[in-house]
Structure 1
Amino acid sequence: MLSQGKIGVALAILSMCGLGHTEENITSDTHFYGQSEPVYPSRQGDRDWADAYAKAAELVAQLTLEEKNNLTYGIATTENGCSGNIPAIPRVGFTGMCLQDAGQGVRFTDFVNSYPSGIHVGASWNKTLAHDRAWHMGGEFRKKGVQVALGPVVGPLGRVVTGGRNWEGPSNDPYLGGVMGAESVRGLQDQGVISSVKHFIANEQELYRNPTLDAENRTVQSISSNIDDKTMHELYLWPFQDALKAGAANIMCSYNRINNSYASQNSKTLNGILKTELGFEGFVVTDWDAQHAGVAAANAGLDMAMPDGQTFWGNNFTEAFKNGSVSEARLNDMATRIIASWYKLGQDESSYPKPGVGMPYNLSEPHDIVNALTADARPVLFEGAVEGHVLVKNVNKSLPLRSPKLLSVFGYDAKAPDAYMPNGQSILTNAWAIGFEPAISHFSELSFAATVINAPYYSQVAFNGTLSVGGGSGASAGPYLSAPLDALQQRAYEDGTASDACLVFINAFATEGSDRAGAYDDYSDGLINQVATTCANTIVVIHNAGTRLVDQFADHPNVTAIIFAHLPGQDSGRALVSLLYGDENFSGKLPYSVAKNESDYENFFHVGATTPYGLFPQDDFEEGVLTDYRYFDAKNITLRYEFGFGLSYTSFEFSGLEISSVEDGIAAYPSGAIEQGGAIDLWDIVATVKATVQNTGDRTGAEVAQIYIGIPNGPVKQLRGFDKVKIPAGKSVQVSFPLTRRDLSSWDVVAQKWQLQSGSYDVFVGSSSRNLPLRSTLNIVADDK
């Protein structure tokens, strides 16, 4: 692979300006790596949104040059609390747009819910739940007068294990992330709300996400994600493609540079991949303050700048259209894409609330209340919280609890936060944590003195109370928060039989704007081990905003159960207690792998040095597609808990593997027309795999049947399907996995198409990426003519 160190400063500067390396013939993937080739012009919309585009074209034809321009960038306003605003054009009936955070619920307003986070939904592996969560969330955005909901997140993809925003997305795996992202798009847009799928693309760390000044007052540019074309398509683009296929009407650019060209002005990714190869019909918006050019960004495919565009566009941009620096055809396309999305989602209808109607600018001042809460959302909030919990250790059936009379609770994460809702914030007034006293009852020999918390833990632990969401723009606040301690106290009041146990609550905090200092912290692990030295039945609950290592206590003989509780939203405590007591059964699975040591991840931490150029930080994605379980499989690394793993209160067995054959001579490359999401025949079903899952335990439970495929010349195996099925004790169900052309293809860099290869494809079916009892092969003979 071409080393970025050999490319040079000049190339980095040229690429920032929208220029780059060009060749007539693509002969290898080094053509793409570390450099972003120019792709012009920007493809105009109207490939398969005919009705919306016809209406939009008619409206845009009535606009002046200034009015078209005004559609393309946000304005500052004190009329509402929207994150971004596009002004109305009353004379043509355009009511304007409110763009609002984020992927876990409506932010910075009242009378809305705080939903389970993206990582929690990913851990549920429940497609229906993902859709229903987004549908109810979309109803709240709509009632609040939001036209564009700034979510879901499908990137970052967890390449950097300590990434500050990993918790906002569903999974480190592109297939799982793509399925959940697509269901989220459908749910939001079924309510008429435009979904803003983010962050496009290869935005895998927070450090150096924005330009900064160094000690000499020189500008240090954002990190450049240097990535080859094959990896781009097979890994990072995959979930975005699913979201587009589901109908996403907006894509948000990321902060980083991609092969040394900023995401918001990268013509290869915007014009070339997004709008041409994938046929995107909607509009592209910057992340907030992520615009770095005017003319170059518009020509590269950017359609809207947020939160305002005065610096690079604004009044000066009108002149650019007049003097031909940007064609009026490009401006018309920008405006038409925005208006077409507005029409496509039915936001022109009188029943759609006016922009920002329920988003008061200042909640502390009197304002008209728009109550977006509905009773029918409650089951989804609760079940969503339940299903994202993952039980990874349960020795001698320590769980479920049997109505204990004596239950000791330890840890900073058990109680309700100091603030009414945490909103993802860690409130620390000093560097001390004072005595974590057991809350319901306690053993007299257990006590903790005041303990100094070392500075590195500030960014890893939220000490002010239980963690229900992460920090930053993805955070949300609901009408209440059910904390674990409150729910346990209520259950203790209601309940009456005996069984001794110690519950230890810790968390792993993450937030937008910074990456975590590590994948574990000694303070929390020490707390667990101290409790376990005295309590023979120690149950650990971790509210983790990302991968969290557990090897410092997982093998302790007195640690009998471990739960990755993730970020459940406002029903956190109620959901957890229903699982602890066995009212509900665990069914969550890990959406990431848990290694035994940080060293097992090798280089999968953020790039903290601005080498080799000082002013142009570089991050070479030299591992290609080998991230998470693909990497651990390739390196034959023993894991603590593998991707897709999770325990239940019952047990399951797999049998009866059936694989349909593929007709010889199937075309190696897709030949169908392009619609949003790519070539139409990429989604043709090529083969079907079936298996039987039996509940061999003594109670009803849900199992996630998973299928992995070993594509020739690719990773050992890759997730290519899953089905969550609820099965009564002693019963069996058959699961079916339809495999599409895309599922079985790899990206051909030279042909610039997905290729179905001739050869033998390994097929694995089971309950996790390393527990796959059913194995066979699928043989394909493809015609590459």
Structure 2
Amino acid sequence: MDFDALISKLDLATKVNLLTGADMWSLPAVPGIGLKRLVMSDGPIGVRGEQWSSADPSIAMPSPTALAATWDVDLVRKVGGLLAQEARRKGVHVLLAPTINLHRSPLGGRHFECFSEDVHLTGEIGAAYVEGVQGGGVATTPKHFVANDFETDRFTVDVKVTDKVLREVYLRPFERVVGAGAWGLMTSYNSVNGTTMSEHSDLVNGVLKREWGFDGFVVSDWTAVRSTEPAAVGGTDVAMPGPNGPWGEKLEEAVREGRVPESVIDDKVRRILRLAHRTGALGDLDEPVREEIDGIALAREVAARSFTLLKNDGGLLPLAGVNSLALIGSAADEARIMGGGSAQVFPDRIVSPLQGLSERTVEVRYALGTDPRVKLSPIAAESRAFFLDASGEVLAEHAVPNSEARWVGQAPSDVDVERLAAVEIRTAYTADAAGEHQFSISGVGRFTLTAGDTVVFDDSIAPDGDDPAVAFLHAPERRFPVTLDEGERIELTLRQHAVSSFNGMVLIMFTLGHANPTLGEDELIAQAVATAASSDVAVVVASTTLEVESEGFDRKSLKLPGRQDELIAAVAAANPRTIVVVNAGSPVEMPWLSEVAAVLLTWFPGQEAGLALADVLYGDAEPGGRLPTTWPVTLEDCPVVDVTPVDGAVPYTEGVFIGYRAWARGDVAPAFWFGHGLGYTEWGYNAVEAGNGSVTVSVTNTGSRRGREVVQAYVSGEGRDRTLAAFDVIEAGPGETVVTTLFLPERAFQEWEDGAWHTANGSYTVEVGRSYADIRLSDQITL
């Protein structure tokens, strides 16, 4: 398609208008050249669409750390295909994913949203994700370019990092996904060496566009563009969201006055038109016939393949001959299936561990044990949302699946935003237990809560802190006790009196929460211990919470929240056949590790969590996961933890030594090394031969059942520490031998020196094995 011919038909005002969002999630249409509205949506575990609301459900896949834990690029490619299918269903052209920042510190708040501590694994999984989504005709925007590896002061922080470290570590995954053909890329909020990334011409124009030959579009993170000329000439192509912002008329004036060349504007428009053509928003695109992907089945398969068995004393798993199973923990009943923030989607079903395990013939005995959650959950009953004008007249009414109101950027299409003054959630609750029930408001603004005929609250709730994302995504909570008899029904209405907006975007985010009367924590733990003691096996599901792992803030510690560590230790003392299921997106401390029989890491497992857990616990599926990041014993042992700016900056003084590369140089061993994971069979490594840019490995399944193995190849040389260079997932039945050839990339033998990549000639050791610390065979090659 002749994009230049189309550009020649546009006047300057139209071209500049194309560079800023028409609203929260889209770029404007230009009917005169056949350009349709271009729609973007958050990911990465699903496609939320334009409505940040449970009224528009989405398939919820496992978290990115779970995807990386599969080490399976073909499976991740299939996930990408499913996400493209979801995007097409919702009219989305651009998926704002994947996140390929690194696990530099375990305290990183969005650790769960990134893949790994390792540059090669991150790049390969990221490339497969990009290829899968774009193979379905939907664009991706790998993010956040670059060095956005923590959340504290993310809008303003300056990352101090050398060119060598940028090239060898933080830019490497982006280089890989650009090589895989990414159609877009998102810049980050932070600065790098004094220049904010939305204005960083050296990295965006110089490295990304010229050196790497990137022909896609560069979109800012939302509200990250804060200047006119510097951002325009710095390489950013699209400033989101809109329609307000620092471009528009100001940018048009800068072009007319010669401060920004019109050729710069034309290049941005050309990239947008290319994007539109690729995604079917410009001209006629022949849609291929694609096989429908079963999202529910795929979510279940990926979850099981990601589950990582850290410990399995005595071969307790898979379970056999079990008649009674104690299932303990709040996350067993209400699964933590995803991390918080922009990665959140709203599935139309969530299968909890309690539901999944209860489908088995074994007797399941549930006990709460302890509840680490800080905020109350919404009432799980169909509710009604009413949109009101200043006089109280109803502008629109919508059914919502629970007592949560959430519309971000845009109100429903039938709401007159100019007249919108208030939003109400109306619902009813029938008490299933007598006593003091807790109801809550979670939100920012002025609210009135009415329970029956009583006004329970009528006041304002102020935000905590000054980060707008935290203010709305993690709003403060107020609780109110209401005494009810069993079976008593109460009508509830929660009104937010003034609808918040930001740069013309509607922000409706508040929740009416509820909790039943409950025993005290001591009584709950004692009840769980008694349940465990009387059962054949105890399974404790331990989890982090939204207040621990989410966008907008970093973690303060790696301890499980609440009294979960105490609960696990008490249950293990009562039943030596205790299995701990860790439902977390990133590392947690496990002080009870030596006291329990088995530990299974399920990450944030997506909507089919409970069924996948049952599959793995009972051996219908093997836990296929291997750690994509090293897990410490304690936070104090970690070689890199710093996420707190000093004088506005975080220096990456550790250089290239993050993850296992840093652990290997220290004196303290982690709890579990990068690449670790047990299956339900055993593997023998027979032979290895390296040469001509590849390594061939022979592996035999020496166990009694079919299984999968992740063959990992590491390269080291004189003065060069051991790093992952290649991997492959193989499958074999009992007694079967598989021979696999892994290709070693050129970058595995290169260093960045004096402004260029250099291959260091000499002797290299290629080591293969089951993890960084479990090397089985090695060979030498000479370059």
TM-score, normalised to structure 2, is: 0.75
Q: Give, in angstroms, the shift of residue 717 of structure 1.
A: 0.7
Instruction: Decide whether the 8 Å contact of 1:55 with 1:343 is kept in 2.
Output: no
Check if 1:501 corresponds to 2:506. no
Q: Give, in angstroms, the shift of residue 190 of structure 1.
A: 0.8
Structure 1 residue corresponding to 2:780, chosen from 771, 774, 777 = 777
**Aligned equivalents of 1:114, 1:618: Cα separation in 2:** 36
Aligned to 2:737: 732
Q: Over residues 322-368 of structure 1, what are the superposed CA-to-partner deviations in whole Å (9 max), with x where a residue is unaligned?
A: 00110000010111111112223443255699xxxxxxxxxxxxxxx
Q: Over residues 375-408 of structure 1, what are the superposed CA-to-partner deviations in whole Å (9 max), with x where a residue is unaligned?
A: 6333322211111100001010111111522111
**SS of residue paired to 1:310:** coil
Aligned to 1:693: 699
Q: Over residues 155-180 of structure 1, what are the superposed CA-to-partner deviations in whole Å (9 max), with x where a residue is unaligned?
A: 1x011211111111221111111101
Aligned to 2:89: 143
Instruction: Decide whether the 8 Å contact of 1:707 with 1:719 is kept in 2.
Output: yes
Check if 1:189 corresponds to 2:125. no
Check if 1:261 corresponds to 2:261. no
**Aligned equivalents of 2:636, 2:200: Cα separation in 1:** 34
Instruction: Decide whether the 8 Å contact of 2:639 with 2:663 is kept in 1.
Output: no
Aligned to 1:279: 213
Change (3 A) 1:193 1:632: same
Q: Give, in angstroms, the shift of residue 774 of structure 1.
A: 0.7
Q: Give, in angstroms, the shift of residue 744 of structure 1.
A: 1.9
Aligned to 2:224: 290
Q: Over residues 445-473 of structure 1, what are the superposed CA-to-partner deviations in whole Å (9 max), with x where a residue is unaligned?
A: xxxxxxxxxxxxxxxxxxxx321110011
CA RMSD of aligned residues (A): 2.0
Check if 1:118 corresponds to 2:61. no
Note the 1:360-375 alignment, pairs <5 A.
Answer: none
Which letter maps to 2:297? P
Which letter maps to 1:654? Y
Instruction: Decide whether the 8 Å contact of 1:112 with 1:373 is kept in 2.
Output: no
**SS of residue paired to 2:574:** coil
Structure 2 residue corresponding to 1:386, chosen from 297, 301, 304 = 304
Aligned to 1:722: 727
Change (3 A) 1:234 1:309: farther
Q: Give, in angstroms, the shift of residue 726 of structure 1.
A: 0.8
Identity %: 32
**SS of residue paired to 2:553:** coil
Q: Over residues 193-214 of structure 1, what are the superposed CA-to-partner deviations in whole Å (9 max), with x where a residue is unaligned?
A: 110110100001111012xxxx
Change (3 A) 1:373 1:763: closer
Structure 1 residue corresponding to 2:10, chosen from 44, 60, 63 = 63
Aligned to 1:672: none
Instruction: Decide whether the 8 Å contact of 1:542 with 1:563 is kept in 2.
Output: yes
**SS of residue paired to 2:100:** coil
Aligned to 1:92: 33
Note the 1:150-189 alignment, pairs <5 A.
Answer: 150-155=96-101, 157-189=102-134
**Aligned equivalents of 2:564, 2:687: Cα separation in 1:** 45
Structure 2 unaligned regions, length at least 5: 366-533
| Deviation larger for 573-582 or 266-275 | 266-275
Structure 2 residue corresponding to 1:131, chosen from 68, 74, 77 = 77
Change (3 A) 1:378 1:575: same
**Aligned equivalents of 1:185, 1:625: Cα separation in 2:** 26
Which letter maps to 1:635? G
Q: Give, in angstroms, the shift of residue 495 of structure 1.
A: 10
Check if 1:103 corresponds to 2:106. no
Instruction: Decide whether the 8 Å contact of 2:59 with 2:296 is kept in 1.
Output: no
Aligned to 2:627: 590
Q: Give, in angstroms, the shift of residue 481 of structure 1.
A: 0.6
Change (3 A) 1:495 1:206: closer
Q: Over residues 111-147 of structure 1, what are the superposed CA-to-partner deviations in whole Å (9 max), with x where a residue is unaligned?
A: 4311111111001111111000011111110121111
**Aligned equivalents of 1:648, 1:740: Cα separation in 2:** 28
Aligned to 2:577: 537
Q: Give, in angstroms, the shift of residue 711 of structure 1.
A: 4.2
Q: Over residues 505-528 of structure 1, what are the superposed CA-to-partner deviations in whole Å (9 max), with x where a residue is unaligned?
A: 111241111112211236221111
**SS of residue paired to 2:122:** helix
Q: Over residues 213-244 of structure 1, what are the superposed CA-to-partner deviations in whole Å (9 max), with x where a residue is unaligned?
A: xxxxxxxxx11111111111111111111111
Which letter maps to 2:740? V
Aligned to 2:257: 323
Q: Give, in angstroms, the shift of residue 259 of structure 1.
A: 0.8
Q: Give, in angstroms, the shift of residue 55 of structure 1.
A: 2.4
Richer in strand (by share)? 2
Note the 1:616-695 alignment, pairs <5 A.
Answer: 617-661=648-692, 687-695=693-701
**Aligned equivalents of 1:394, 1:648: Cα separation in 2:** 9
**Aligned equivalents of 2:362, 2:249: Cα separation in 1:** 65
Q: Over residues 231-266 of structure 1, what are the superposed CA-to-partner deviations in whole Å (9 max), with x where a residue is unaligned?
A: 111111111111111110111011111111111111
Aligned to 1:513: 552
**Aligned equivalents of 1:756, 1:351: Cα separation in 2:** 43
Which letter maps to 2:587? T
Which letter maps to 2:568? I
Q: Over residues 259-305 of structure 1, what are the superposed CA-to-partner deviations in whole Å (9 max), with x where a residue is unaligned?
A: 11111111111111111221111111110111121100111111110
Structure 1 unaligned regions, length at least 5: 1-53, 77-82, 211-221, 354-371, 416-464, 612-616, 662-686, 781-785
**SS of residue paired to 2:132:** helix
**Aligned equivalents of 1:517, 1:466: Cα separation in 2:** 23
Check if 1:199 corresponds to 2:144. yes
**Aligned equivalents of 1:525, 1:776: Cα separation in 2:** 44
Instruction: Decide whether the 8 Å contact of 1:401 with 1:499 is kept in 2.
Output: no
Q: Give, in angstroms, the shift of residue 603 of structure 1.
A: 4.1
Which letter maps to 2:747? R
Aligned to 1:466: 335
Q: Give, in angstroms, the shift of residue 374 of structure 1.
A: 5.5
**SS of residue paired to 1:706:** strand
**Aligned equivalents of 2:321, 2:139: Cα separation in 1:** 46
Q: Give, in angstroms, the shift of residue 373 of structure 1.
A: 12
**Aligned equivalents of 1:579, 1:166: Cα separation in 2:** 25
Instruction: Decide whether the 8 Å contact of 2:578 with 2:598 is kept in 1.
Output: yes
Aligned to 2:474: none
**Aligned equivalents of 1:160, 1:309: Cα separation in 2:** 36
Which letter maps to 2:736? K
Note the 1:21-36 alignment, pairs <5 A.
Answer: none
Q: Give, in angstroms, the shift of residue 549 of structure 1.
A: 2.1
Aligned to 2:480: none
Instruction: Decide whether the 8 Å contact of 2:187 with 2:219 is kept in 1.
Output: yes
Q: Over residues 713-745 of structure 1, what are the superposed CA-to-partner deviations in whole Å (9 max), with x where a residue is unaligned?
A: 33x211111000111011110111111322321
Q: Give, in angstroms, the shift of residue 688 of structure 1.
A: 1.3
Instruction: Decide whether the 8 Å contact of 1:407 with 1:500 is kept in 2.
Output: yes
**SS of residue paired to 1:392:** strand
Structure 2 residue corresponding to 1:339, chosen from 257, 264, 273 = 273
Instruction: Decide whether the 8 Å contact of 1:129 with 1:380 is kept in 2.
Output: no
**Aligned equivalents of 2:352, 2:536: Cα separation in 1:** 21
Instruction: Decide whether the 8 Å contact of 1:508 with 1:546 is kept in 2.
Output: no
Instruction: Decide whether the 8 Å contact of 1:158 with 1:204 is kept in 2.
Output: yes
**Aligned equivalents of 1:262, 1:778: Cα separation in 2:** 43
**SS of residue paired to 1:533:** helix
Q: Over residues 669-705 of structure 1, what are the superposed CA-to-partner deviations in whole Å (9 max), with x where a residue is unaligned?
A: xxxxxxxxxxxxxxxxxx1111111111100000000
Instruction: Decide whether the 8 Å contact of 1:761 with 1:778 is kept in 2.
Output: yes
Q: Give, in angstroms, the shift of residue 499 of structure 1.
A: 7.7
Q: Give, in angstroms, the shift of residue 553 of structure 1.
A: 0.5
Aligned to 2:162: 228
Instruction: Decide whether the 8 Å contact of 1:690 with 1:735 is kept in 2.
Output: yes
Which letter maps to 1:388? S
